[in-house]
Amino acid sequence: MRRLLTIVTMGIFISGITGCQDKAEQTASGPCDRQCLEGFVDQYLQAMVAQDASRAPFSENARHTENAKEISLSGPSEGIWTEATGLGDYKFYISDPKAGQVAFVGLIQASVQEENDGETSVVEKPVLLSMRLKIENEQITEAESIVVRSMMGGGSAGAMTVPPAAYSEALLPEERISREELIEISSLYFDSIEQCNGKIVPWHEECYRLENGMWTAGPNLPPELAAHMQAPPATKSGPGGEASPAFSRGACTEAIDSGVFALIESIRPRRTPVVDEERGVTWGVYMFNHPGVETITMPDGSTQPAAYFVGQPNSMPMSELFKIKDGKIRDIMAIGVVNEYGSDSGWE
């Protein structure tokens, strides 16, 4: 009897060890889930604040770009990796376990150079970071970031005081659509701007848009953002002092249908590498190409002065996020910088 108990006990013990080993092997070899992906972002950010790339699990051949330009990971000597000093509370993640990719948007404390009256000084301030990581074999193989050092509309105040809650909220099963549909609807937004036709986009009645911290479209903000807005909506003037609908905070389709964005030559190339199906969120980088025209032709055939970038040809790598609920675009966040005209995002 004693021998039987010993055999049974040893069997249970060995079985337990085997079971633990199997579980460990499954975890190590299995896909990187939401928590796993966010963990890689946190490691990346901690290494960035320490200004030491060796602290992040980069693969040997990892690529890294900042504002569409290649940045070396061997002793970084430029960009946010030399400026970051701390992390803030404003942050949220967009996780795509199927693709092994994850995106992050947040405010990072940094020491940046600013020019005032011809003098250059170093200023400690929050900067806006939108980034993407690709994870393969438990290593970061791709890192792409858009860093905005000068935000509009109050920066970390106003609409940037707290992150929009919707980007971190799971949709109900009946509110979700397929991965392919999420990408298609995101692309329709850019088609509508190129065609000056907002009617081709499925808009949510609560649609609004933030660009580099500034509220640019939608008559109302979500409650958590509206609580921090002190100034009422105001129409931005055009180059000749006339009222321009480009940033009037009307309905999301209003400025598009007006034709004011005809100054945008194209929005290409386009990439939507991160799709969070559970939350209905997409993250991508899209190139806004501005030839710097002085006048634009409106849908009725009339002409008017271009609202911005007059005589300033450029291409903007714009990181845009969409929250799509019930197949309709509700939240839009754009984070971009001005680059040389005709340039791309560095990943085409």
Q: Are residues 208 and 300 in the same domain?
A: yes
On whether residue 45 sits in a domain, the answer given is yes
Q: Are residues 208 and 325 in the same domain?
A: yes
The whole-number pLDDT of residue 230 equals 67
Q: Are residues 219 and 347 in the same domain?
A: yes
* CATH code, 61: 3.10.450.50
Show Cβ contacts of residue 6 under 8 Å, excluding neighbours closer than 6 positions: none
Rounded to whole angstroms, the Cα distance separating 158 from 229 reads 5
Q: Give SS3 for 180.
A: helix
On whether residue 18 sits in a domain, the answer given is no
- 102: how many CB neighbours lie within 10 A of its CB? 28
Q: Are residues 144 and 241 in the same domain?
A: no
Alpha helices in 30-111 (DSSP H): 34-50
Cα distances (angstroms) measured from residue 207 to each of 255, 330, 333? 13, 4, 11
Range of the domain at 122: 27-150
Kindly state the tokens that stand for 78.
């430029």
Q: Are the C-beta atoms of residues 144 and 132 closer than 8 Å to each other?
A: yes
Show Cβ contacts of residue 212 under 8 Å, excluding neighbours closer than 6 positions: 128, 148, 151, 152, 153, 334, 335, 336
The whole-number pLDDT of residue 151 equals 80
Q: Are residues 145 and 166 in the same domain?
A: no
User: In this structure, what is the dihedral angle of CA atoms 114, 63, 139, 79, given to the nearest 10 degrees?
Assistant: -10
DSSP 295: E
Q: Are residues 99 and 167 in the same domain?
A: no
Alpha helices in 51-165 (DSSP H): none
DSSP 18: H
Place of tokens 């940033």: 247
Kindly state the tokens that stand for 336.
């971009």
Instruction: Tell me which residue of 52, 87, 42 sits closest to 73, measured CA to CA.
Output: 52
The whole-number pLDDT of residue 114 equals 84
On whether residue 19 sits in a domain, the answer given is no
Cα distances (angstroms) measured from residue 82 to each of 21, 53, 191, 242? 42, 11, 37, 42
Q: Considering its fold, how many domains does the chain have in total?
A: 2
Domain boundary residue among 104, 129, 150?
A: 150
Q: Are residues 286 and 146 in the same domain?
A: no
Q: Is residue 17 packed enough to be buried (19+ CB in 10 Å), middle (13-18) or exposed (0-12)?
A: exposed
Kindly state the tokens that stand for 150.
């000068």
On whether residue 257 sits in a domain, the answer given is yes
Domain boundary residue among 127, 150, 173?
A: 150
pLDDT tens digits, one per residue of 264-308: 999 999 999 999 999 999 999 999 999 999 999 998 999 999 999
Q: Are residues 43 and 186 in the same domain?
A: no
Rounded to whole angstroms, the Cα distance separating 51 from 45 reads 9
On whether residue 22 sits in a domain, the answer given is no
CA dihedral (223, 226, 232, 233) positive or negative: negative
Segments in the chain below pLDDT 70: 1-30, 75-77, 152-157, 230-245
Q: Are residues 308 and 246 in the same domain?
A: yes
On whether residue 6 sits in a domain, the answer given is no
Domain boundary residue among 112, 134, 150?
A: 150
Q: Are residues 132 and 264 in the same domain?
A: no
Q: Are residues 144 and 178 in the same domain?
A: no
On whether residue 105 sits in a domain, the answer given is yes
Q: Are the C-beta atoms of residues 79 and 148 closer than 8 Å to each other?
A: no
On whether residue 2 sits in a domain, the answer given is no
Kindly state the tokens that stand for 99.
């693709």
Q: Are residues 201 and 331 in the same domain?
A: yes
